[in-house]
Amino acid sequence: MMRKNCPHEKEIRELIEDGHWPLAALPELRAHVGECRTCSDLALVAGVFQNARIETMAAAKLASPGVLLWRAQLRRRNAAVERLTRPLLGAQIFALAVTLLAGLGFMGFEARHGLAWLNWLEQIPQSVGPLWDNLFSASVTSSGWAWMVLVAGLATLLLLGGVAIYKATDGQERIGRP
Amino acid sequence: MAPIEKRTRMSWESALPRSLAGGALDRSAAGTTDPAMDSDAFAVFYERSARPLWAYLVRVSSDPALADDLMQESFVRFLCAAGAPSLYTMGETAARLYLFRIATNLLRDHWRRPRAASIEEIPEEFFAGRDSAAHSDSQIMLGPALRRMNPRERQLLWLAYAEGYSHREIAKVTGLAATSIRLLLFRARRKIAGFLRGRASHVGRES
């Protein structure tokens, strides 16, 4: 399709945008629009679209601008919090990696120097076994005092563990909340 | 268009540490966006821009509910955008153009999501019967004609003949090359003019 320029296009368009078409147009221009295909298309399309714009704008039901401002502020703040927590996560991963590397280094060092500490590890069951036997027998015989101590210790451990897990997850939830 | 009065009021960003201000303090320093677009300035801009934007979205998408959603999302993104033109330094026209660009991108994202990979590949049946805008004179004429155009043509026609944007401004909004806008628009105009004339004669015969 070949596009044909018409010198009157701009003039007609300005008249339509100002709302002066066709009443305020010169008779020669109106006669030209009747003959020129490009200009008649322009006049028809622009006129219909201008009317449609006015009618459609009147039908708009707008939300409060305050709500949009509030949503934008919330989104910006969340993005900022997310940006802030990203380096913390990176630091945690870095710390874990360093710890693992240090542990592996230590293991390697010990393995190279004869695993002397394994002898001590082998002695642990022998030293703990009699102690456990004594505790168990004492708990049975000495009116349940040792049992109470054991149960209280375990309960304390469970309680502290629960509190620690709660604190950790609560902190994570607060950071990650949208 | 009357310029928006610049006001200096303490914004929420200034009450936060720099790291928590969402980059707003950095943007203020860079001068790319308003130092603190307070609620009054935004309300004025919203009042002037929301209706044209909604009209554009509803005519291009033929879906008033979608137009509502996308209009709100466009404003929120405009307020959050680091590169948005400042109302005070670059003027309301540039800001509105940027807003239309956001809305156009959101429309394109919406169309890409459900079924088609490109805006051109969306079947016209998808839009048929979805337009529940007011049944006015222009709607009786324009509605059926617009439904026969593809979404890209609707965008170009609306921006050019309803909003009165120049080819360069349309290129900024749609992301197309300014040189191709002229030809695309000419073809779309000729096509819809044919539909409108056919529609007018059909309505004339019926009445």
**Does some domain include residue A105?**
yes
Q: CA dist B129 to A60, B146, B194, Å?
A: 20, 12, 21
DSSP code for B118: S
Distance in angstroms (rounded) separating the CA atoms of residues A60 and A62: 6
**Does some domain include residue B97?**
yes
**Does some domain include residue B2?**
no
Co-location of A51 and A72 in the same domain:
no
**Does some domain include residue A121?**
no
Which among A46, A60, A54 has a CA at the least distance from the CA of A11?
Answer: A46
**Does some domain include residue B101?**
yes
Distance in angstroms (rounded) separating the CA atoms of residues B34 and B36: 5
Contacts with A49 from chain B: Cβ below 8 Å: 142, 157-158, 161-162
A1 touches chain B (CB under 8 A): yes
Count up the domains in chain A and report the number: 3
Distance in angstroms (rounded) separating the CA atoms of residues B97 and B155: 14
Co-location of A100 and A81 in the same domain:
yes
**Does some domain include residue B11?**
no
Range of the domain at B145: 29-206
Contacts with A70 from chain B: Cβ below 8 Å: none
Tens of pLDDT along chain B (207 residues) come to 445 544 444 444 444 444 444 444 444 444 444 555 678 888 999 999 999 999 999 999 988 999 999 999 999 999 998 878 877 777 888 999 999 999 999 999 988 876 554 555 555 555 554 444 445 556 677 888 888 899 999 999 999 999 999 999 999 999 999 889 999 999 999 999 998 888 777 766 766
Co-location of A130 and A174 in the same domain:
yes
CB contact under 8 A, B161 and A41: no
Co-location of A137 and A103 in the same domain:
no
Contacts with B190 from chain A: Cβ below 8 Å: 1, 41
Which among A46, A16, A45 has a CA at the least distance from the CA of A29?
Answer: A16
**Does some domain include residue A91?**
yes
CB contact under 8 A, B139 and A69: no
Contacts with A48 from chain B: Cβ below 8 Å: 138, 141-142, 196
Distance in angstroms (rounded) separating the CA atoms of residues B77 and B71: 10
Q: What b-and-e string marks burial along A9-19, b requiring 16 or more CB atoms within 10 Å of the CB? A: eebbbebbeee
Predicted pLDDT at B68: 93
| Option in A3, A69, A71 nearest B39 (CB) | A69
Instruction: Identify the three-state secondary structure at position B63.
Output: coil
Contacts with A56 from chain B: Cβ below 8 Å: 54-55, 58-59, 133-134
On the CB side of A151, how many CA atoms lie within 13 Å of its CA? Answer: 6
CB B56 within 8 A of CB B159: yes
* CATH number for the domain that contains residue B193: 1.20.140.160
Tokens for B22, please give them: 């969402």
DSSP code for B121: G
**Does some domain include residue B172?**
yes
Q: Which amino acid is it at B27?
A: R
**Does some domain include residue A120?**
no
Count up the domains in chain B and report the number: 1
For testing the chain A interface, which of B19, B34, B138 should be mutated: the one with the most A CBs within 10 Å?
B138
Range of the domain at A86: 64-113
| Option in A53, A77, A80 nearest B162 (CB) | A53
Q: Which amino acid is it at B167?
A: H
Tokens for A23, please give them: 């009443």
**Does some domain include residue A75?**
yes
| Option in A3, A49, A73 nearest B158 (CB) | A49
Tokens for A117, please give them: 């500490």
Co-location of A68 and A108 in the same domain:
yes
DSSP code for B160: I
**Which segments of chain B does DSSP mark as H helices, in order?**
24-30, 39-61, 64-80, 92-112, 137-147, 151-157, 167-174, 178-206
pLDDT tens, A24-41? 888 888 899 888 988 999
Tokens for A146, please give them: 């040792």
> What's the angle, vertex CA B19, arms to CA B16 and CA B24, rounded to 5?
70
ipTM above 0.85, yes or no: no
